[in-house]
């Protein structure tokens, strides 16, 4: 019987732990965790994300600050805002919602956030700490951190002897995911669009993580029987069965057929997605603990 991971349920358990940790920090050190979210422009999807992040921060007992800037904001104005947030002692996390409008140099903005406040885990210092195995010194990108919670809850903390394959080599997900698996002692292969006989590589995986952005690319005959399959893809495809012009969300894994073979699988939607905001809250409370000189909780 295949286990389908309920991402909402796991995310809720992480949020509960964050609330407990944030309350404990307030009680013991008098420190209220603070998160600032910055959004530029009018992208509706970005605004929906940001409002859910701000709402969740309040729910976790954080000070939640939101800066909504017009589309015509300049690079210099945004950079100045980030500098002021860097200096603000009451804020432990800063998040600039991506993508920024086209006229911005996004990378320069992201790298200007202090690494210890970079709760998205995108600063080169945080990427470097993860790459060198320093999981306790940096902040890990939220989506791979969330996917790793599923892996550890399935297989335990130590993945010695297990083969893991990550399809996708992006800086945002593929590389940090591979490094987290490596840090937990898995034997890791990073596969991508140039990999020869991708299906054969995937069939060797006890843990298969798909993050390529190609709808239902991973088929049942790519999956080793009994494997754990983590699907990070979010693709919108036409769904004529729902009516003309309708669409539905699917992952990078052909869910129905792969669920017949895998032992554990994540659905799309409702799998990795809910974990991203949960891990953002976890990173913010971790940053607050570190700033207060306390041992940060693990999630």
- Of 53, 117, 129, 224, the active-site residue reads 53
Which contiguous run of DSSP H or E holds residue 175?
A: helix 174-183
The answer to whether residue 120 is catalytic is: yes
Residue in 117, 118, 120, 206 annotated catalytic: 120
- Which residue of the set 97, 179, 206, 224 is catalytic? 97
CA dihedral 75, 58, 149, 170 (to 10 degrees): -10
Cα angle: 23, vertex 24, 25; to 5 degrees = 90
Distance separating alpha carbons of residues 297 and 289, to the nearest angstrom = 8
The span from the CA of 233 to the CA of 170, in Å, is 13
Tokens linked to 208: 């298969």
Residue 159, CA distances (Å) to 55, 189, 209, 239, 297 in order: 35, 14, 15, 39, 21
Q: Please, which residues bridge with residue 167 across strands? A: 191, 210
Q: Residues with Cβ < 8 Å from 82, sequence gap 6 or more? A: 38, 94, 96, 109, 112, 113
Q: Is 294 a catalytic residue?
A: no
The DSSP code sequence of 215-255 is: TT-B-GGGSPTT-EEEE---EEEE-GGG-TT-EEEE-SB-H
Task: Give yes or no: 53 in active site.
Answer: yes
Active site residues: 53, 97, 120
């Amino acid at each position: 019987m295949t286990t389908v991971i309920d991402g909402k349920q796991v995310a809720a358990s992480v949020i509960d732990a964050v609330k407990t940790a944030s309350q404990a920090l307030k009680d013991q050190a008098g420190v209220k965790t603070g998160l600032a979210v910055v959004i530029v422009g009018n992208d509706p999807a970005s605004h929906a994300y940001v409002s859910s992040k701000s709402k969740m921060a309040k729910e976790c007992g954080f000070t939640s600050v939101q800066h909504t800037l017009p589309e015509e904001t300049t690079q210099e104005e945004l950079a100045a805002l980030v500098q002021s947030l860097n200096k603000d002692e009451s804020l432990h996390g800063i998040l600039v919602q991506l993508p920024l409008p086209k006229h911005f140099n996004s990378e320069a903005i992201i790298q200007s956030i202090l690494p210890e406040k970079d709760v998205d885990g995108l600063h080169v210092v945080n990427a470097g700490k993860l790459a060198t195995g320093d999981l306790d010194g940096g902040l890990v990108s939220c989506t791979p951190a969330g996917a790793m919670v599923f892996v550890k809850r399935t297989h335990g903390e130590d993945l010695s002897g297990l083969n893991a394959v990550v399809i996708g080599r992006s800086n945002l997900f593929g590389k940090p995911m591979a490094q987290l698996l490596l840090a937990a002692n898995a034997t890791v292969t990073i596969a991508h669009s140039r990999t020869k006989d991708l299906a054969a590589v995937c069939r060797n995986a006890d843990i298969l993580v798909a993050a390529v952005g190609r709808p239902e690319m991973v088929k049942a005959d790519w999956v080793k029987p009994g494997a754990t399959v983590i699907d990070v893809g979010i693709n919108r495809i036409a769904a004529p069965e729902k009516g003309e012009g309708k669409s539905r969300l699917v992952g990078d894994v052909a869910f129905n057929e792969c669920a017949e073979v895998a032992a554990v699988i994540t659905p799309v939607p409702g799998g990795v997605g809910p974990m991203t905001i949960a891990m953002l809250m976890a990173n913010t409370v971790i940053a607050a603990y570190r700033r207060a000189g306390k041992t940060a909780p693990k999630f």
